[in-house]
Amino acid sequence: MSRFYTLALPLMGVGLSALLVAQQAQEKVDLNVLHKIKVAEFGGGGGFGGGGGGRGRGGSKVMDTAWNLTDKYGPRLTNSPQFRAAGDWAVGQLKEWGLANVHLEKWPTADVQSGAIPGWQVKAYSGAMVEPTYMPIEGLPAAWTAGTDGPVTGEVMLATIEAPADMDKYKGKLKGKIVFTSAIPELEMPTTPLAKRYTDQELHDLTSELIPVPGAGRGGAAGGRGGFAALLNMTPEERQAAQEKMRNFWKDEGVLLTVTATSRGQSGTFFGGGAARQGDPKKNIPQVSITAEQYNRIARLVQHSTPVKLTFDIKTEFTPDTESFNVIAEIPGATKPNEVVMVGGHFDSWHYGTGATDNAAGSAVAMEVMRILKSLNLKMDRTVRLAMWGGEEEGLLGSAAYVKSHFADPAVMKPTAEHDSFAGYFNIDNGTGKIRGIYLQGNEMARPIFEAWFAPLKDLTPGIVTIRNTGGTDHQSFDRVGLPGFQFIQDPMDYDTRTHHSNMDTYDRLQAADLEQMAVIEAMFVYNAATRPEKLPRLDLPAAQPAGGRGGRGGN
């Protein structure tokens, strides 16, 4: 039996159908290499090391990597001390595995549109209701907010501001108050599992569109920070101006701190993001995210004319370095070293948990792909390059900076030589769920290729291929300049319901078997892209785009 797998389908007619079949027939998948990759990840000894409780299997190191990125070095808020320590560890580990050109590729955040990103971390937090009775408050301050400079105690006031005009009715009433800024979350009784996998029907529905629909794929979920409801409908410039106005309003009115919650935050879970960084972020007053149940109890007491006093003691620390980095490593190509296949995911996280499903999962899998391919000493024509991005949570900043530096500035769209030699990018950033297929991002030319690559992987995945776009993560930076960048379809699990941007985003939510499956599939896709005769097909070069255009806001 040949070690190569060629996908053969019944002839569907003439024209496009015949062309697709012909293209599929030309795609060869080396089954011997596929078997080696499976053995390297699933088979024979090794086990789990590094103190993570023995959850790994076979030869896999993916959970060991995930443990280091989460329990040991997480959370990895962009430019925080933990982010930098994790980056140094990743560089050391990749060098130990024998990869080439391993380095932290620096990029400045001082000129980003949303404001420079200083280092920041929580050094201490405590919060409690002290009147009418005692209740400890589960929460954490939002990123880049100040501390309280010692314990502060104040009376709670509800002040939901949905639009700038709402500020007028609260002027002169908020001095010395602790202000609850979110609308009271309505908590529905949970009647469905928090975690789920895609059903066959749901996967079938993903393939039903004939043309891509903007926003039809899975994008980033809202962090639930409270404040202007209209923010989501604003341009980036309008949004920044509104956030700055809100920040100055709280400060000018003498508010002690603000508190937010979201209906996503049930059963001890709280969600959040970061504060505006325009101007001096050290002047941000403290903003705390807490659980919805506690938020609602306090809000109901206030609504029933029962005075409530809270006390908080928050210590945060800023560091001045606003230069960030992406983690880069390579396996040089044998015959076409100037042509590049890339694999990656975002390295940064929010700070409420340890950044496990968002996105230590994608980073650990990408590192595992490189470990497998290097350990097998596979001869690949093209260079395979790992990139793990900083600043994704603040708007795809690290991948956007890399693409601008290496391939093209979307504002002027003048491709570099590297743009021409680029073969493809594969991204994972939708949590811990198994790969069930791939989004084409409107690139119909890639369909027969990916269908052929998925065919011998049917024991691991149905391999759904959908024309849909998906947003909110780093493949968009490549797509924005006409380069083939792809995000895999993953089982939802409890990503949107529990872990995304929450205090529950911890190592315990990672599923070892899922990450191992992802590593095998992504390694095979990378190998195929690095060895097929032609680079992956690409769409027409887009027109020059103004800042804040097609790339999206990030946040997955």
Nearest to 69 by CA among 365, 272, 317: 365
Q: Does 243 have pLDDT greater than 80?
A: no
Q: Can you give the pLDDT at residue 52?
A: 46
Q: Are 350 and 294 in contact (CB under 8 A)?
A: no
Range in 231-240, 263-272, 495-504 the model is least confident about: 231-240
Structural domain for 474, as ranges: 51-113+322-444+458-531
Domain boundary among the residues 262, 292, 319 is at: 319
Integer CA distances (angstroms), 418 to 177, 407, 424, in order: 55, 6, 12
The β-bridge partners of 28 are 6
Which H helix or E strand runs over 525?
helix 512-531
d(CA 63, CA 514): 11
Question: Do 341 and 390 lie in a common domain?
Answer: yes
For 473, the token pair is: 């993560």
Phi, psi of 258 (to 5 degrees): -115, 155
Give the number of C-alpha atoms closer than 13 A to the C-alpha of residue 461, restricted to the C-beta side. 31
Give the number of C-alpha atoms closer than 13 A to the C-alpha of residue 317, restricted to the C-beta side. 9
d(CA 21, CA 268): 52
pLDDT in tens, 326-357: 999 999 999 999 999 999 999 999 999 999 99
d(CA 359, CA 69): 10
Q: Does 99 have pLDDT greater than 50?
A: yes
Residue 82, C-beta contacts closer than 8 angstroms, at least 6 positions apart: 73, 74, 75, 76, 121
Q: How would you class 193 by CB atoms within 10 Å of its CB: exposed for 0-12, middle for 13-18, buried for 19 or more?
A: exposed
Question: Do 410 and 344 lie in a common domain?
Answer: yes
Domain boundary among the residues 319, 339, 367 is at: 319
Domain boundary among the residues 319, 341, 374 is at: 319
Which band of pLDDT confidence, cut at 50, 70 and 90, is reported for residue 238?
confident
Asked whether residue 104 is assigned to any structural domain, the reply reads: yes
Q: Does 16 have pLDDT greater than 60?
A: no
3-state SS class at 105: strand
Single-letter residue type at 540 = D
Query: Does the reported pTM lie above 0.95?
Result: no
Mean pLDDT, residues 148-155: 97
Q: Does 555 have pLDDT greater than 70?
A: no
Pairwise pLDDT comparison (7 vs 362), residue with the higher score:
362
Mean pLDDT, residues 483-492: 98
For 278, the token pair is: 């325009």
Q: Are 443 and 537 in contact (CB under 8 A)?
A: yes
Residue 1, C-beta contacts closer than 8 angstroms, at least 6 positions apart: none
Q: Does 3 have pLDDT greater than 80?
A: no
Cα pseudo-dihedral 107, 538, 436, 399, rounded to 10: 10
Question: Do 314 and 369 lie in a common domain?
Answer: no
Q: Does 235 have pLDDT greater than 90?
A: no
pLDDT in tens, 285-295: 999 999 999 99
Q: Does 113 have pLDDT greater than 90?
A: no
Cα pseudo-dihedral 92, 96, 97, 103, rounded to 10: 40
3-state SS class at 284: coil
Pairwise pLDDT comparison (417 vs 112), residue with the higher score:
417
Pairwise pLDDT comparison (393 vs 166), residue with the higher score:
393
Asked whether residue 219 is assigned to any structural domain, the reply reads: no
Q: Does 265 have pLDDT greater than 70?
A: no
Question: Do 160 and 294 lie in a common domain?
Answer: yes
Which band of pLDDT confidence, cut at 50, 70 and 90, is reported for residue 554?
low
Edge-to-edge strands of the sheet including 435-439?
A: 100-108, 323-331, 382-389, 336-346, 422-427, 485-490, 435-439, 464-466
Question: Do 364 and 254 lie in a common domain?
Answer: no
Q: Which CATH number does the domain housing residue 339 bear?
A: 3.40.630.10
Mean pLDDT, residues 429-448: 97
For the chain, the distance separating the N- and C-terminal CA atoms, rounded to the nearest angstrom, is: 44
Chain-centroid distance, C-alpha 189: 28
Asked whether residue 40 is assigned to any structural domain, the reply reads: no
Please write down the long-range contacts of 39-42, taking CB distance under 8 Å and 24 or more positions apart: 40/372, 40/375, 40/376, 41/368, 41/372, 41/516, 41/519, 41/520, 41/523, 42/516, 42/520
Q: Can you give the pLDDT at residue 135?
A: 98
Q: Can you give the pLDDT at residue 276?
A: 79
Q: Can you give the pLDDT at residue 45?
A: 44
Range in 80-94, 102-116, 412-426, 512-526 the model is least confident about: 102-116
Which band of pLDDT confidence, cut at 50, 70 and 90, is reported for residue 278?
confident
Question: Do 350 and 499 lie in a common domain?
Answer: yes
Question: Do 378 and 506 lie in a common domain?
Answer: yes
Asked whether residue 516 is assigned to any structural domain, the reply reads: yes
Q: Tell me how many domains the chain contains.
A: 2
Question: Do 372 and 358 lie in a common domain?
Answer: yes
Q: Can you give the pLDDT at residue 280?
A: 82
Q: How would you class 211 by CB atoms within 10 Å of its CB: exposed for 0-12, middle for 13-18, buried for 19 or more?
A: exposed
Question: Do 178 and 266 lie in a common domain?
Answer: yes
Q: Does 118 have pLDDT greater than 70?
A: yes
Asked whether residue 453 is assigned to any structural domain, the reply reads: no
Q: Considering the chain, what percentage of its residues have pLDDT values greater than 90?
A: 73
Q: Considering the chain, what percentage of its residues have pLDDT values greater than 70?
A: 86
Question: Do 402 and 296 lie in a common domain?
Answer: no
Question: Do 73 and 104 lie in a common domain?
Answer: yes
Mean pLDDT, residues 449-475: 96
3-state SS class at 274: strand
Q: Does 224 have pLDDT greater than 50?
A: no
Question: Do 414 and 343 lie in a common domain?
Answer: yes
Q: Does 219 have pLDDT greater than 50?
A: no
Asked whether residue 539 is assigned to any structural domain, the reply reads: no
Asked whether residue 215 is assigned to any structural domain, the reply reads: no
